[in-house]
Structure 1
């Protein structure tokens, strides 16, 4: 069976399908820990800069977004460590549906966000829960650097261990 995968900018009419994929991810992995009572609301935060979807054979099977990084725990950690006021962005809402994993879609989604952050001149950061080892392996394989330990709050008031990461700086190709 032939499959055709594409990463493209998210459109408003993708939200329902992306929300359904998110529900399948939550049922499989417990991501996001906040739950999925309002998947479309979770996919459309107020600080959203841009979002992409992974489409496989015409179905939405993955998602990632880029948001303003201010106010994020990793941003505070980075500002403290780097002593910099550079513009920031946060990689958020990354997921690939269980039926579409092991095809490089997560890698391609993260790279789309990294390229956009570079294009708009923002340093890219993220928070990832310690339990999400596959995501951590992906980020580290792409050159992201762990900058410290964090706690991620969950709806019941408890916290789960998490880490802050910073993306590698883009290097211009030598002329």
Structure 2
């Protein structure tokens, strides 16, 4: 069966939350949001979200949001003089469960978001924790350009280095 990517619906949220917890337990991603995954998957800045399905089950997720001052890649892109906030979307919350691994799910979700941003006339940016090397390899393979690094702060005074990227135009 082929993988399909479609807009995420309200009915998908519980399955996406369960999948997020599975990915966190296996990969340590994300570093935040696992205590209340439904809230983490429905940020107030949400623009669009997608679910990837394989054999009728959700196996992956991604979304885009409007940028906020805490979005390191958006801030970096603006500070470089390369864009303005109104022209940006932030890609994030990409995860693929074990049933979707090695099926091209991540690539399809990233391409879907890139296509959406381009159709809206927006530039897509993201940040990714340095520890998430598989994600970094995916973005670089798809032509995303590294624009710098930032310190991502989370939890109780925890921090980690993140790499910031802009999608190919």
TM-score, normalised via structure 1 length: 0.92
TM superposition shift of 1:98: 1.9
Count of residues paired in the alignment: 167
- Would you say the 8 A contact 1:153–1:160 is kept in 2? yes
Partner of 1:45, secondary structure, is coil
- State the partner residue of 2:73: 74
TM superposition shift of 1:35: 4.4
Matches for 1:156-175 after TM superposition, within 5 Å? 156-169=156-169
- State the partner residue of 1:97: 97
Distance across 2 between alignment mates of 1:16 and 1:94: 16
- Give the aligned CA root-mean-square deviation in angstroms: 1.1
Distance across 2 between alignment mates of 1:98 and 1:107: 15
Seen in structure 2, the aligned counterparts of structure 1 residues 4 and 168 have a Cα distance that, compared at 3 Å, is: closer
Are residues 1:148 and 2:148 paired? yes
Aligned with 2:50 (options 30, 49, 52): 52
Are residues 1:116 and 2:102 paired? no
Q: Which ranges of structure 2 fall in alignment gaps of 5 or more residues?
A: none
Distance across 2 between alignment mates of 1:37 and 1:150: 24
Partner of 2:16, secondary structure, is helix
Q: Which ranges of structure 1 fall in alignment gaps of 5 or more residues?
A: 170-175
- State the partner residue of 1:21: 19
Consecutive aligned runs of 4 or more in structure 1 exceeding 3 Å deviation? none
- State the partner residue of 1:172: none
- Would you say the 8 A contact 1:69–1:125 is kept in 2? no
Larger Rg over CA atoms: 1
TM-score, normalised via structure 2 length: 0.95
